[in-house]
Amino acid sequence: MAEVFQPPSFRIQDGVAGDHERLAFVLDRLADMPGIQRLRSWAREALRPAPGDRILDVGAGTGDELQALATLVGPAGVATGVEPNPGLRAEATRRAEEFGSVARFVDGDAYALPLDDSTVDIARCERVFQHLDHPERAAAEIARVLRPGGRAVVIDTDWATTIVHPGDPAVLEEVKRFALSRFPNPFAGRRLPGQLAAAGLEVVDHGSQALIQDVSALDGLFGALATAAVEAGVITMPQREQLYADLKGGAARGDFHFSVTMFAVLAAKPVR
Ligand SMILES: C[S@@+](CC[C@H](N)C(=O)[O-])C[C@H]1O[C@@H](n2cnc3c(N)ncnc32)[C@H](O)[C@@H]1O
């Protein structure tokens, strides 16, 4: 069997600190995808950062998006990225210094943000909740640190929206069911409004984008999951081989679709 890509883990519980170069590589590839660029652009417009604002990015990764927002708040503003992975935090700091950004990156956890109550004007958190066992606690933390009238955008993938075509629908459904069982929070995207509302925030607007993958994704995350599904006895090896033949054949004649939908929620802290 061909060697398959092993998906990297962003869960800090999984001890990924040594793997940050690979994680940064994956984040950079994702940041180039049109769906992510469009959703980030929507989030920037929704958040409307102004000079002097205090911005927070929870789980900032390589920090590129916080840097983009930092240019809008200017030298009078504060742009703080909370990033628990030391390797990613160092990479984000290196990039910010290289570009002369005011963005700074600190250690911390979405469950216990290292910030005082009501000290943030604008918060963002992208593709972090899907890695958390208790995303509702992260939502409560974002609500705690936002000032009354402050705004937050939380973006996440909803893995249950994955569409793969062509292929036997029954086999695809088995692979999808198996894949969902491997994610701590596979329905992250659809749960954002409820979690932010439960944290006391007012949901103001929604954005979404499908993340359209090309056929190379078959050798990446999908390939790893399909192989794991065989090893777990969920599908057989001949079913996996047939699925691949159908998908590669579809791609060769331009009849291929692989996507997952990401959702973004704009929420505001009520002024009491
Ligand atoms: C898929 S990456 C997204 C990074 C960045 N937000 C972006 O959009 O490029 C997930 C990020 O969440 C961070 N993360 C994982 N668990 C976390 C936690 N408990 N608190 C804060 N961040 C966490 C990871 O270190 C990683 O930077």
Any residues with CB less than 8 A from the CB of 12 and at least 6 apart, and which?
84, 85, 109
pLDDT tens for each residue of the chain, 272 residues long:
333 334 567 877 665 555 888 899 999 999 999 999 999 999 999 999 999 999 999 999 999 999 999 999 999 999 999 999 999 999 999 999 999 999 999 999 999 999 999 999 999 999 999 999 999 999 999 999 999 999 999 999 999 999 999 999 999 999 999 999 888 899 999 999 999 999 999 999 999 999 999 998 888 778 888 999 999 999 999 999 999 999 999 999 999 999 999 999 999 999 97
Does the global pTM surpass 0.75? yes
Output the CA 132–ligand 1 centroid distance in Å: 9
Ligand 1, atom nearest to 27 Cα: 9
Any residues with CB less than 8 A from the CB of 96 and at least 6 apart, and which?
63, 67, 70, 102, 103, 104, 105
> Is 154 a pocket residue for ligand 1 (Cβ < 6 Å)?
no
Q: Which residues of 5-37 are buried (b: 16+ CB within 10 A; e: fewer)?
A: eeeeebebeeebeebbeebbebbeeeeebebbe
Residue count (the chain): 272
Q: Which of 42, 105, 115, 128 to mutate to test the pocket of ligand 1 (most atoms within 8 A of CB)?
A: 128
- Residue 204, classified by CB atoms within 10 Å of its CB into exposed (0-12), middle (13-18) or buried (19+), is middle
> Is 85 a pocket residue for ligand 1 (Cβ < 6 Å)?
yes
Q: Looking at residue 253, what DSSP letter applies?
A: T
For the beta carbon of residue 177, count every other beta carbon within 10 angstroms. 12
> Is 43 a pocket residue for ligand 1 (Cβ < 6 Å)?
no
The residue nearest atom 1 of ligand 1, judged by CA position, is: 127
Q: Looking at residue 112, what DSSP letter applies?
A: B
Q: Which domains does the chain show, CATH number per domain?
A: 12-157+185-209+264-268 (3.40.50.150)
